Each structure stands twice: as C-alpha cells, then as structure tokens.
C-alpha cells in the first residue's frame, strides 16, 4: 500500500517499531477510501443530531445512548427519499441506508470520514419494535428482569422518589392519587427530560441519585402516553440495566396500558397509569388502615374487658354457689316435709274411708244373704197363691161345661129373675159367647 | 399454645407489615375464645402496643404531602461540609 520511503533517509535512532511502511499518506488515504467503500451496505437506526447543510449535501450525526456516527447524504438523494428539510431535524428517529465513505482531502482540503447515506426514512413503529424485541430478549437472557421483582416493597413507605418531567399531567395525577389514598409522606422529585436522546442518561442519573438516599423506599418513574418513538428513552439499554441493578424498587408508569417499554420489564412493578403507580408505591390504603386500626382497638378493648368481666361474673356466681345450694337443700327439705305431712293426713283419711267401705260391703252382703232367704219363701207363697187363684178363675169352671149369663154390657146375671127380666142375654162358654133372648111366657 | 409462648414484652415490630400481621394473629386468637385469662390480658397489652405503633406509623404519613426536590437536597448536601 503506497510507495515506501528510502530507509537510508531515516535516522537509525528514530526507526521505531518495525511495521510495514512508511507509505505516502495521500495514496494510503485513497486506498483507505476504496477499502471503506467496499464494506457491505447496511441500514442504521438512530436519532438525528447536529443537522447542517452545504450546497450539495446535508450532514448530521446519527446517535443513540451508546455512540454516534457522522453521516452525510447528497441533497438529490434526500430529495429522492421524499423527505423535506424539516423532516431531517434534530431529534428525529431515522433509518438510513448506505455505507462507509472516506474523503481523503487534498493539498488544502481536510479529510473527512462519514457514513454516506443514499436513502433516509423516518423510523417506523416496526423498526423500533424490532429493536425493542432484540433488547428484551438479551436482557431477559441475562436475568435482569427478575432482580427488581425480588426486592421487598414496603407496605407503608415514608419517602418516595419520583422521576418525571417537571411539567406534566403525570405529576398532578400522582399527587392526587397519593392524597386520595390518605398518604401524606415525603415525595422527592427528580425532574428529568422524558423524551429525546438526553432523556435516558438523565433519568438513569436521577434514579441513581434517588436510590443513593437512604430514606427513599420506592421510586416511581412516570410520563404520559405517546408513540413508541416518544417513549423510546424508556427502552434505552443502559437505563434499563441501571434500573435492574438498583437496591430500591422501581415502579414504572410510562405511557398508557397498550404501551410497553423495556423499563416496564426490568422494573419491580409496571403500571399503566399514575393512579396504579400510587397503589404499587403505597400498597397500604392509609384511610382504610386507620379505620381498621380503630376496629382492632375496639376488639382489643372488648376482649380485655370481657376477659375480666366474664370471669368476675363467673366468680361471683361461684361465690354465691354454696348459699344457693344450701337454700336449695332447705327448699327441698321443706317440700319433702310438706309432702310427708300431706301423705300422713291422706293416709288416715284413706284408712277411715276404707273401714267404712268394708262395713258397707259386709252389711250389704248380710242384707243380700237375708234378702235371698225371704225371697224363696215369698216365691213359694206366690206360687201357691197363683195355683189357688187359678183354681178360682171362672174360665176353669167354664172349661168344665158351665156357662156364665151376662147382660149385653158384660155384667153377670146371677139370678133367674135378672135373666128373665133382661131382653137380651149372653151365654159365655169357655170357647166363646152365645147371645140369647129369654122366653118370658114359658116361665 | 404457640402464641402464649411469644414474648409479650416484644413491642417494637420490624415494620408496619409485621405489626399488622401480628395484630391479626392476636385478634384471631382472642376471637377464638380459647385463650386463658393471663394469655388474654397479655395479648390485649401486646395488641394495644401494636395498634399504637401502627397509628404512629400512619401518623407519620398523615400530615400531608411534603414535596422536596432532589436538586435542592443535593445542593444542601454539597453545602453542608463547608458549613461544618
């Protein structure tokens, strides 16, 4: 590479290391230019800074938190890319296509190295997501997602650090949320830019400063929503590594629910809103806790008083026990005495009744016995009377062939004169009556 | 009883969490009605001390938000060695 200078022209004492050469620099520069231009064409993504223009080209630096490359694009290429002048501005996240280039300069002109872009476009969501995923994969593989999650988060921190933009809704929301929860401890604000390439280093520094303060028990990092490009600072690899290594739990509340940044992965807790971040930073609802403590106080007082009161009542009851037992025994005794007395009285009365009952039975039996003999005699006499009576019945006489004369009224006619005087008579036989008329003239 | 074996004179818990946890244990034990008189009185005493501790902790964050700026604190920190 290049023509060597005669060795004899060099002083032996200044020969230096035995590298090849020396070569003429101009030729070396041109060779270098050729070598660089042969490097593979690539796409780079980063933030545009320090934009400047000459008559024929625009130049800028493409930068992220780890480094930068000087870039240049011919104005006609810029025009072909469809980007107007305002699009290629400081802070824009772009993807450039091209390769390394080197301008060797000349006798008067200065040499210049740059990445010669032949095309440029604004970085899209897809580009950022692809970068994010690659970083996410790498940090997860290193176990950096777990470190913060293993930290103990206090239920009731007294001091909380907050990293956010000085002017922003997130700050207001956070204060309102903390007050709603009844938390009135100390908040240490560490204000930092939350969007652009300065944001990530500033946020990282603020986090480290807060974590270095012994009174800080939790740190909230928050900002409002935006595009992934807006939130890109929170996907910064260096920042995320810093967060992972902090001794204080970090609660991230960056963007809205749908936004997912790398800091969410490494933080102890990822929240979608400042309100959620408040609940994560102060897990204890202080208002509810105060009410709960009042209930505990009441329960303890009840238990304490009850323990003594119940036992004292029980003791009193026990103390009254012997007297009550004696009274009970006395009552029992009195009752038994009354029962015995009643039983004795009932016993005498029963005995008299029983005697009376026995006498009655004996008399009744005697009476029945006496009545029985008399009846037999009476029954016999009655029989005799019946036989006698039966012997005197007219029917018995009529059966023997006599007839009884009666007037028409059934009155017996006991003389011939009565019968002769009657106009009509009736002759009563044993088997029936015969009417007749007396013949007056025959008599 | 495991609880009655705990030292009731231990009144300063490590944290609010530990205090609340122990307080809940105490209330449960008292509610069970199985503790004897001595144990009940000891538990009540310990419980009251825990409640006082928790109340004091809550009081510390009950005075209203105190907002500080990290920059100011850092500035004071830098100034203090010169003052002393």
pLDDT at A269 (0 to 100): 94
Element (H, E) at B43: helix B37-60
Q: Are A96 and A35 members of one domain? A: yes
- Quote the number of domains for chain A: 3
- How far apart, in whole angstroms, are the C-alpha atoms of residue A395 and residue A431? 9
The chain A residue lying nearest B59, using CA atoms, is: A184
Q: Is residue A339 part of a domain?
A: no
Question: B70, A307: Cβ pair inside 8 Å?
Answer: no
- Examine the domain organization and report whether A111 and A149 are in the same domain: no
**Which residue, of A91, A123, A155, is where some domain finishes?**
A123
Of the residues B13, B32, B37, B44, the best mutation for testing chain A's interface (the one with the most A CB atoms within 10 Å of its CB) is B44
Asked whether the beta carbons of residue A289 and residue B54 sit closer than 8 angstroms, the reply is: yes
For A318, the token pair is: 């026990």
Taking an 8 Å cut-off on Cβ atoms, the answer to whether B47 and A300 are in contact is yes
When pLDDT is cut at 50, 70 and 90, the band that residue A14 belongs to is: low
- Indicate if A112 and A206 belong to the same structural domain: no
* Per-residue confidence band for A440, with pLDDT thresholds at 50, 70 and 90: low
Please give the average per-residue pLDDT across A118-125, as a whole number: 87
Please list the residues that pair with A427 across neighbouring strands: A405, A434
Query: pLDDT digits over A83-115, tens only?
Result: 776 778 888 889 999 999 999 988 788 898 999
Which of A183, A188, A289 faces B70 most closely, judged by CB atoms? A188
Characterize the bridge pairing of strands A186-191 and A93-103.
Answer: unpaired
Q: What tokens does A216 get?
A: 């800080």
End-to-end CA distance of chain B, in Å?
56
Which segments within A80-146 are labelled E, that is strand? 93-103, 112-122
Of all residues in chain B, the one with the smallest CA distance to A183 is B61
Note if the pTM is more than 0.90.
Answer: no
Note the helical H segments in A68-159. Answer: 75-80, 125-141
Residues of chain A by 3-state class (helix, strand, coil), percent to 5: 50, 20, 30
**Could you list the residue range(s) of the whole structural domain that residue B76 is in?**
3-83
Q: Do B67 and A286 touch (CB under 8 A)?
A: no
Which of A64, A90, A123 finishes a domain? A123
Q: What phi, psi does A68 have (nearest 5°)?
A: -150, 160
Whether the pLDDT of residue B81 is over 90: the answer is no
Q: How high is the pLDDT of residue A373?
A: 67
A189 touches chain B (CB under 8 A): yes
The per-residue pLDDT of chain A, averaged, comes to 85
Residues A145 and A248 in one domain: yes
B27 contacts A296? CB cut-off 8 A: yes
CATH number of the domain residue A276 falls in: 3.40.50.261
For A155, the closest of B17, B43, B47 (CB atoms) is: B17
Candidates B31, B43, B62; nearest CB to A184: B62
Among the partner residues B40, B61, B66, nearest to A156 by beta-carbon distance: B61
Residue of chain A with shortest Cα separation from B37: A307
Query: Domain check: are A202 and A259 in the same one?
Result: yes
Quote the pLDDT of residue B1: 41
Indicate whether A307 pLDDT > 80: no
- B6-59 pLDDT, tens digit each: 554 555 788 888 898 898 899 888 888 888 888 888 888 898 899 889 988 888
User: Cα separations (Å) of A123 from A21, A128, A196, B82?
Assistant: 45, 7, 14, 50
pLDDT digits (tens, 9 = 90+) for A50-62: 899 889 999 999 9
Q: Please tell me the predicted confidence (pLDDT) of residue B84.
A: 41
Place of tokens 């005493």: B45
What is the pLDDT averaged over residues A323-348? Answer: 85
Rounded CA separation A233/A165 (Å): 13
Question: Do A160 and A219 fall within a single domain?
Answer: yes
Do A119 and A189 lie in a common domain?
A: no
Are A155 and A236 within one domain?
Answer: yes
User: In a mutagenesis test of the B interface, which of A184, A211, A298 is the best target, namely the one with the most B β-carbons within 10 Å?
Assistant: A184
Residue A318 reports pLDDT greater than 90: no
A362 in any annotated domain: no
Q: Which of B8, B64, B62 is nearest to B35 (CA)?
A: B8
Q: Label residue A21 left, alpha or beta by phi (over 0 means left) and psi (-120 to 50 means alpha).
A: left
Number of domains into which chain B is organized: 1
ipTM: 0.72
Can you give the pLDDT at residue A1? 47
Q: What percent of chain A has pLDDT over 90?
A: 32
- The highest-confidence range among A34-43, A51-60, A338-347, A411-420, by mean pLDDT, is A34-43
Give chain A positions within 8 Å (CB) of B41.
304, 307-308
**pLDDT value at A291 more than 70:** yes
A112 and A187 in a single domain? The answer is no
Together in a domain, A78 and A168: no
Domain boundary among A287, A305, A335: A287
Q: Where are the alpha helices (DSSP H) in A142-273?
A: 169-180, 199-211, 237-245, 262-266
Range of the domain at A427: 396-436
Helix residue ranges, H only, A393-434? 394-399, 416-421
- Tell which of B65, B69, B72, B75 to mutate to test the A interface (max A CBs under 10 Å): B65
- Domain annotation covers residue A365: no
pLDDT at A35 over 90: yes
Q: Is A29 within the bounds of a domain?
A: yes
Supply the mean pLDDT for chain B: 79
The predicted pLDDT at position A302 comes to 84
* pLDDT tens-digit readout, A373-388: 666 777 777 777 777 6
Residue A187 to residue B65, Cβ atoms within 8 A = yes
Which residues in A lie closer than 8 A to residue B16 (C-beta atoms)? 154-156, 284
User: What strands, in cross-sheet order, belong to the sheet with A159-164?
Assistant: A269-270, A250-254, A218-223, A159-164, A186-191, B66-69
**Cβ–Cβ pairs < 8 A, chains A and B:** 105
| Interface list for chain B against chain A, based on CB atoms closer than 8 Å | 15-17, 20, 23, 26-27, 30-31, 35, 37, 40-41, 43-44, 47-48, 51, 54-55, 57-58, 60-71, 73-74
Cβ partners under 8 Å of residue A283, min gap 6: A153, A155, A156
pLDDT for A12 equals 52
CA distance B60 to chain A (A): 7
Residue A10 is assigned to a structural domain of this protein? no
Query: Does B3 score more than 50 pLDDT?
Result: no
């Amino acid at each position: 590479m290049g023509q060597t200078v005669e060795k004899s022209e060099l002083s032996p004492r200044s020969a230096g290391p035995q590298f090849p050469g020396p070569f003429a620099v101009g030729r070396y520069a041109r060779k270098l230019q050729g070598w660089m231009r042969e490097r593979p064409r690539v796409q780079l993504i980063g933030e545009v800074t320090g934009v400047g223009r000459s008559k024929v080209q625009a130049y800028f630096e493409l930068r992220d938190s780890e480094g930068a490359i000087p870039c240049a694009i011919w104005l006609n290429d810029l025009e072909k890319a469809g980007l107007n002048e305002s699009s290629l501005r400081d802070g824009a996240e772009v993807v450039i296509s091209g390769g390394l280039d080197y301008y060797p300069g000349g006798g008067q002109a200065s040499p210049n190295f740059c990445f010669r872009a032949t095309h440029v476009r604004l970085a899209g969501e897809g580009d950022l997501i692809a970068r994010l995923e690659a970083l996410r994969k790498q940090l997860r593989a290193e176990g950096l997602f777990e470190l913060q999650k293993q930290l103990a988060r206090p239920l009731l921190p007294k001091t909380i650090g907050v990293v956010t933009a000085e002017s922003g809704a997130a700050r207001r929301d956070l204060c309102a949320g903390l007050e709603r929860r009844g938390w009135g401890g100390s908040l240490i604000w560490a204000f930092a830019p939350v969007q652009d390439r300065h944001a990530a280093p500033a946020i990282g520094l603020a986090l480290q400063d807060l974590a270095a303060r012994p009174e800080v028990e939790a740190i909230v990092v928050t900002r409002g929503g935006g595009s992934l490009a807006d939130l890109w600072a929170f996907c910064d690899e260096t920042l995320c590594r810093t967060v992972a290594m902090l001794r204080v739990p970090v609660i991230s509340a960056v963007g809205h629910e749908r936004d997912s940044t790398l800091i969410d992965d490494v933080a102890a807790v990822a929240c979608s809103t400042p309100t959620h971040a408040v609940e994560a930073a102060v897990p204890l609802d202080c208002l509810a806790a105060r009410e709960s403590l009042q209930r505990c106080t009441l329960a303890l007082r009840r238990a304490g008083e009850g323990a003594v009161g119940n036992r004292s009542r029980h003791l009193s009851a026990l103390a009254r026990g012997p007297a009550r037992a004696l009274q009970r025994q006395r009552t029992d005794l009195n009752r038994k005495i009354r029962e015995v007395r009643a039983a004795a009285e009932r016993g005498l009365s029963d005995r008299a009744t029983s005697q009376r009952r026995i006498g009655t039975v004996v008399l009744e039996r005697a009476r029945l016995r006496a009545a029985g003999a008399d009846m037999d005699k009476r029954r016999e006499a009655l029989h005799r009377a019946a036989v006698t009576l039966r012997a005197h019945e007219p029917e018995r006489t009529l059966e023997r062939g006599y007839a009884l004369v009666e007037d028409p009224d059934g009155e017996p006619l006991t003389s011939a004169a009565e019968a002769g005087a009657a106009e009509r008579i009736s002759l009563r036989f044993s088997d029936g009556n015969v009417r007749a008329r007396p013949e007056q003239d025959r008599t | 009883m495991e609880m009655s074996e705990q030292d009731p004179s231990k009144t300063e818990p490590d944290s609010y969490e530990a205090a609340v946890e122990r307080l809940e244990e105490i209330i449960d034990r008292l509610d069970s009605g199985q503790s004897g008189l001595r144990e009940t009185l000891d538990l009540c005493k310990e419980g009251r001390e825990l409640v006082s501790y928790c109340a004091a902790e809550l009081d510390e964050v009950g005075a209203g938000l105190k907002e500080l700026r990290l920059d100011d604190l850092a500035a004071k920190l830098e100034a203090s060695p010169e003052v002393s």
